[in-house]
Amino acid sequence: MIGWEATRLDELDAIPIGHGVVWRPVRRRLGIRAFGINAYTSDAIGHQVVEKHDETGGGAAGHEELYVVVRGRATFTIGGETLDAPAGTLVFIQDPALERMATSEEEGTFVLAIGGEAGQAYQVAAWESYFAAIPAFKSGRYQDAIDLMEAGLRERPGHPSILFNLACAESLAGRPLDALTHLREAIKADPTLTTRAQTDPDFDPIRREPGFPR
């Protein structure tokens, strides 16, 4: 039916993003453009269900965030303080600079995250495009990963984190000139990425190319 859509949490894609966290892309699945919303599950008790992060660097977007424990139980750690969060708990983090994470205390723990930058029209977070590309990266479908991140660049032109990850995919896909171009653009926008490029194995195929950042 035009104008609305329904799905179930367990029908969302399940994309492992590290440390036991499984990303469930709500916003991308439903095509939401007004606000950021995603869900997270954990692959085991004691593993992270919300990855350790703040909202100030990398692909973050400076969001205020509301976490809703929909199912199971989690322990949140926010700025060094801990909170027991059974199903039905709402955790609001207003300060983007506060480091936060949550670990799963029960099997099947499911956390919904809603965010946006105070006083600003919503923009899709940069990290979504390269998180969405993780399955393509892992299966060697580098052109699919490139397509996803090029779409991300259309949303966030010139974003250094997207450019860096796009360069990784192009390097692995055997496109050295494109990889070097986008890597240099990423480092120009965020010079701290120079250090990361030195050790990232995705750049091994182009590390000896003329113009690789030293």
pLDDT at position 107 is 93
**Cα(162)–Cα(183) distance, integer angstroms:** 10
The model's pLDDT over 20-60, given as tens digits with 9 standing for 90+, comes to: 999 999 999 999 999 999 999 998 999 999 999 998 876 66
**Cα(109)–Cα(70) distance, integer angstroms:** 8
The model's pLDDT over 87-130, given as tens digits with 9 standing for 90+, comes to: 999 999 999 999 999 999 999 999 999 999 999 999 898 999 99
**Cα(76)–Cα(143) distance, integer angstroms:** 37
Higher pLDDT, 214 or 57: 214
For the chain, the residue count is: 214
The model's pLDDT over 169-208, given as tens digits with 9 standing for 90+, comes to: 999 999 999 999 999 999 999 999 999 999 999 999 999 9
Q: What domains lie within the chain, and their CATH numbers?
A: 9-116 (2.60.120.10), 127-206 (1.25.40.10)
Residues 83, 143 contacting (CB under 8 angstroms): no
Residues 6+ apart with CB under 8 A from 99: 52, 53, 54, 77, 78, 79
- pTM as predicted: 0.89
- DSSP sequence for 56-81: SSTT----EEEEEEEESEEEEEETTE
Q: Please give the average per-residue pLDDT across 74-87, as a whole number.
A: 97
DSSP letter, residue 11? G
The model's pLDDT over 154-178, given as tens digits with 9 standing for 90+, comes to: 999 999 999 999 999 999 999 999 9
pLDDT at position 56 is 87
pLDDT at position 2 is 76
Amino acid at the residue 56: T
pLDDT at position 60 is 66
